[in-house]
Amino acid sequence: MPEVNPALANRYNKELAKILPSPIRVIDQKFSAIDGIIKLTLGEPDFAVPDHIKAATKAAIDADDSHYAAPHGHLSLREAISDYLVERFDAPRYNPNGEVVVTVGASEALFATMNGLLNAGEKIIIPTPTFPMYEAIADIIGLDVVGINTAPDFVLTPEKLEATLAENPDATAILFNYPSNPTGVTYSAEQIKAIAAILKAHNMLVFSDEIYAELVYDGEHVSMASLLPDQTILISGLSKSHAMTGYRIGYVAGPATLMAHVGKMHQFLVTTAPGPMMAAAEEALRNGRQDAIDMRDTYKQRRDLVMAGLAEAGFTAAQPGGAFYIFAKIPATLNTNDMEFVIDLAETVKLGIAPGSIFGAGGEGYVRLSYAASTEDLTEAVNRLKQYVALKG
């Protein structure tokens, strides 16, 4: 194993060094070392990719779709994305040539969007608690993050948004994720319209991360792009809706003038997405819409199972309207903070969940549980949680 030249040991990006590794991954890796643990830490669907999507992947490989694709992705997939967004979410009709970019997952979509459209020193508003990657990307770019603490109900209200904008009239963009990771909160048509009206008046960029749009349990998801098409950059993908996390296919859609910059950044980051995975994504969007519905219905059953178990164990949580996370308040009787709690829980009864504080302001004293695991694992997880409370409470 080579040792670095001592003269080079301090050669690294000093700004990047200020940013901690993904706290969710750090916690997950720590818990992975515990034999027999049940982990509800990651947003990882337990479903297998549907067979017809696997077949499309294999067919693309057999057809030698192994060369560089167009930088913005296969045209046929961009057409499928455009059709899907119109038919499923009443989004504007995005032109596949210039208004849609296929990315290597929604994470790359976020990085390409924020890096392509914002400049160091500009302000971006991010409601919290939130997915930690958002602030990490902002820090890498050198943005000034303005948080909106949405606790205790975790809903971004017009009043909170107006107050933040009044204090930060120079804010350039807002990053809005719904259904929410980590809280599971989503919004009605009336709520989204009220937020959109405020954002329209401020002429700011709206980065709308709607990766969980297919996982809305009551009512229908209303896309921000359907209300603010001239300001919104819509970010999504196939990872959560079709259990395709390993396929790494996401996409970005928005006005052509803005997408030219997003597409340029994407090209310099990854060149293009892989062909067989794009073929799989096209199959999912064209012929796999029932797959997403079936998975959603199962998640809803699992949500109800875990919510009931949490209540029996003395935890309080608002019922999530979407995604596959529950953000639960730790009982006061346990007399602990969220980080100490999740570590002791893992060591005592071999159950791994995420501490709420890693999701930013408003998350302290809460924990996030993912119910994307199997029903069997969730049933056992609830039993272990009850055992812990009986032992410690």
Domain ranges of the chain: 6-48+291-392, 51-288
Mean pLDDT of 13-20: 85
pLDDT at 111: 98
Report how far apart, in Å, the C-alpha atoms of 88 and of each of 119, 144, 185, 263, 320 are. 33, 35, 20, 24, 22
The pLDDT assigned to 160 comes to 98
Query: pLDDT value at position 5?
Result: 92
Helix (H, G, I), strand (E, B) or coil at 39: strand
When pLDDT is cut at 50, 70 and 90, the band that residue 190 belongs to is very high
What's residue 21's pLDDT? 85
Task: Supply the pLDDT for residue 23.
Answer: 87
Q: What is the pLDDT of residue 16?
A: 86
* DSSP helix/strand/coil, 371: coil
Q: What is the pLDDT of residue 231?
A: 98
Phi, psi of 345, rounded to the nearest 5 degrees: -60, -45
Return the pLDDT at 14. Answer: 85
Q: Using the structure block, give the residue that is written with the tokens 């914002």.
A: 118
Q: CB atoms < 10 A from the CB of 256, how many?
A: 13
Does position 22 have pLDDT exceeding 90, yes or no?
A: no
User: What does the angle CA 155 – CA 209 – CA 39 come to, to the nearest 5 degrees?
Assistant: 80
Residue 242, token pair as written in the block: 């079709």
The mean of the pLDDT values for the chain is 97
The predicted structure's pLDDT at residue 222:
98
Tell me the average pLDDT across 346-366. Answer: 98
pLDDT at 20: 81
Options 2.70.150.10, 3.40.640.10, 3.40.190.10, 1.10.760.10; which CATH number does 51-288 get?
3.40.640.10
Q: How many residues does the chain have?
A: 393
The whole model's pTM is what? 0.96
- Inform me whether the pLDDT recorded for 258 exceeds 90: yes
Q: Are 113 and 132 in contact (CB under 8 A)?
A: no
Q: Does 329 have pLDDT greater than 80?
A: yes
Specify which residues 351 forms β-bridges with: 38
Looking at the predicted structure, is the pLDDT value of residue 17 above 90? no
Look up the CATH superfamily of 6-48+291-392: Aspartate Aminotransferase, domain 1 (3.90.1150.10)
Residue 194 has pLDDT above 90, yes or no: yes
Average pLDDT on 140-146 reads 97
List the structure tokens of 177.
């994720």
Q: Is the peptide bond before 152 cis (omega within 30 degrees of 0)?
A: yes
The answer to whether residues 145 and 138 touch, using CB atoms and an 8 Å cutoff, is yes
Sorting pLDDT into bands at 50, 70 and 90, what band is 19? confident
pLDDT greater than 80 at residue 393: no
